[in-house]
């Protein structure tokens, strides 16, 4: 019986670690400054996934908590329902606060990777992924970016093996509350 409990624990640990790991060949930004990263970011492009499906006007707002973790507020407009949806989570650094590899939770003890693998030196745009290549975001401090940044994002994502044919580009239209 003890062996069985041990094996269940080992497999559970492996499953959790897999969700907070790094995709092969992708390195998080070093010399990361969390204070410069906090604030609101606009989602410019992403790969589709269930928790943002059908949304436009998506933003992510980050702020520091007193315990050193990061408060995450993701917000988007669900077009079919004509309503805003918001999810609040918590992020923690995986190694240290100078490496842009965090683990984020919106559901209690379950965490997923948040990996910033390219960041503008002025913290104006960021390329973000998770533990595998099914997740990809282009975030910006502004609701629109230049064609040059989009081209750089797509080219970089292709070089890293992401399926850029599946990218969804955001609309950030004014919508009344």
pLDDT tens digits, 126-168: 999 999 999 999 999 999 999 999 999 999 999 999 999 999 9
Architecture, CATH, for domain 34-169: Beta Barrel (2.40)
- pLDDT attached to residue 89: 97
- pLDDT attached to residue 177: 66
- pLDDT attached to residue 17: 40
Beta-strand ranges (E) seen in 51-163 are: 55-64, 70-78, 83-93, 101-107, 110-119, 125-129, 136-140
Cβ-proximal residues to 133 (8 Å cutoff; 6+ apart), any chain? 23, 160, 161, 162, 163
How many CB atoms within 10 Å of residue 119?
21
Cβ-proximal residues to 115 (8 Å cutoff; 6+ apart), any chain? 22, 23, 26, 28, 100, 101, 102, 128, 129, 130, 131
Q: Which residues of the chain have pLDDT under 50?
A: 1-18
Domain positions in the chain: 34-169
- pLDDT attached to residue 53: 93
End-to-end CA separation in angstroms for the chain: 56
- Cβ-contact 163, 133 below 8 angstroms: yes
Question: Which secondary-structure segment (H or E) carries 67?
Answer: none
- pLDDT attached to residue 175: 75
Give me the phi and psi of 173, to 5 degrees please. -95, 150
Question: Which secondary-structure segment (H or E) carries 159?
Answer: helix 147-159
Cβ-proximal residues to 147 (8 Å cutoff; 6+ apart), any chain? none
- Cβ-contact 101, 92 below 8 angstroms: no
């Amino acid at each position: 019986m003890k062996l069985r409990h041990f094996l269940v624990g080992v497999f559970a640990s492996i499953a959790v670690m897999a969700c907070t790991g790094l995709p092969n060949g992708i390195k998080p930004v070093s010399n990361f400054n969390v204070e410069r990263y906090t604030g609101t970011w606009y989602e410019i492009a992403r790969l589709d996934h269930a928790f943002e499906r059908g949304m436009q006007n998506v933003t992510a707002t980050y702020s520091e908590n007193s315990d050193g973790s990061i408060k995450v507020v993701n917000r988007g407009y669900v077009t079919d329902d004509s309503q805003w949806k918001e999810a609040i989570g918590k992020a923690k650094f995986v190694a240290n606060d100078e490496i842009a590899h965090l683990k984020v939770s919106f559901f209690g003890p379950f965490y997923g990777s948040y990996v910033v693998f390219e960041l503008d030196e002025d913290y104006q745009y960021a390329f973000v992924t998770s533990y595998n290549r099914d997740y990809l975001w282009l975030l910006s401090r502004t609701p629109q970016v230049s064609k040059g940044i989009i081209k750089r994002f797509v080219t970089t994502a292709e070089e890293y093996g992401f399926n850029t044919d599946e990218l969804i580009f955001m609309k950030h239209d004014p919508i009344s509350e």
